[in-house]
Amino acid sequence: MAKLNIGDRFAPHRLETIDGDTVAVPSPDRLIHLQFRRYAGCPVCHLHLQSILRRYKEITAAGVTEVVVFHSAPEALRRSLADMPFAVVADPQRSLYSEVGVESDPTAIAHPRVWLAAALGAARQRSISSALGRGEDHFGKPADFLIASDGRILARKYGTHADDQWSVDEILTLADQLHSP
């Protein structure tokens, strides 16, 4: 799995969302924030997506389209994420994960920050059974990419543990810097 670097090109994809729509990555007229999360019921991911939801209008006003990929099956994602206002993509075979070098490693859950985020996220989830993610890989690491309309990777982050992703403030700062002359 080769990791993408700033300046590399993300090959054009038409990704099917869990609600049957498709989303073009890259987008012809907007920046794409392509997020790679873990499994459908991941409490750490749930907590992170809540921060995205709270400030979603700011993100879209900054010219950024959110596309979130999980390595779960579509039906599992529909149970917990069907009401998201952004594109949610199922990649249970991890094709996209492999394409961009997003890894899984047991150390992903060893960091104390992960434990706190997992506890907070689980407390806010509708169902503790979905947080358990039976049969899912719990060792996935997140990744974030900001992709230009021509497919160039403008910024990227490969998480070192399960709670190591861009904050909304970081997304907005990057978008502002990339839109400024």
Give per-residue pLDDT as tens, 92-113.
Answer: 999 999 999 998 766 656 555 6
Question: What is the pLDDT at residue 106?
Answer: 63
Distances (CA, A) of 80 to 1, 45, 117, 138: 29, 11, 18, 17
Calculate helix-pair angle for 43-54, 112-124, nearest 10 degrees. Answer: 70
User: Residues 21-44: what's their mean pLDDT?
Assistant: 93
Q: Is the pLDDT of residue 169 over 70?
A: yes
Q: How far apart are CA 18 and CA 64, in angstroms?
A: 20
**4 is a domain residue:** no
The number of beta carbons lying within 10 Å of the beta carbon of residue 140 is 26
Give residue for tokens 């503790």: 128
The CATH number of whichever domain residue 159 belongs to comes to 3.40.30.10
**2 is a domain residue:** no
**Structural domain that includes position 139:** 13-179
Question: What is the pLDDT at residue 68?
Answer: 98
Q: Is the pLDDT of residue 131 over 50?
A: no
**38 is a domain residue:** yes
Q: Is the pLDDT of residue 87 over 90?
A: yes
Q: Is the pLDDT of residue 129 over 50?
A: no
User: Residues 2-28: what's their mean pLDDT?
Assistant: 96
pTM score, whole prediction: 0.86
**150 is a domain residue:** yes
Counting the structural domains of the chain, the total is 1
Q: How far apart are CA 74 and CA 72, in angstroms?
A: 6
The number of beta carbons lying within 10 Å of the beta carbon of residue 51 is 14
The answer to whether 132 touches 112, Cβ cutoff 8 Å, is: no
Between these two residues, 160 and 60, which has the higher pLDDT value? 60
**37 is a domain residue:** yes
**90 is a domain residue:** yes
Between these two residues, 173 and 133, which has the higher pLDDT value? 173
Binned at pLDDT 50, 70 and 90, residue 178 comes out as confident
Q: Is the pLDDT of residue 30 over 70?
A: yes
Binned at pLDDT 50, 70 and 90, residue 132 comes out as very low
Q: Is the pLDDT of residue 117 over 70?
A: no
The 10s digit of each residue's pLDDT in 46-69 is: 889 999 999 999 999 999 999 999
**1 is a domain residue:** no
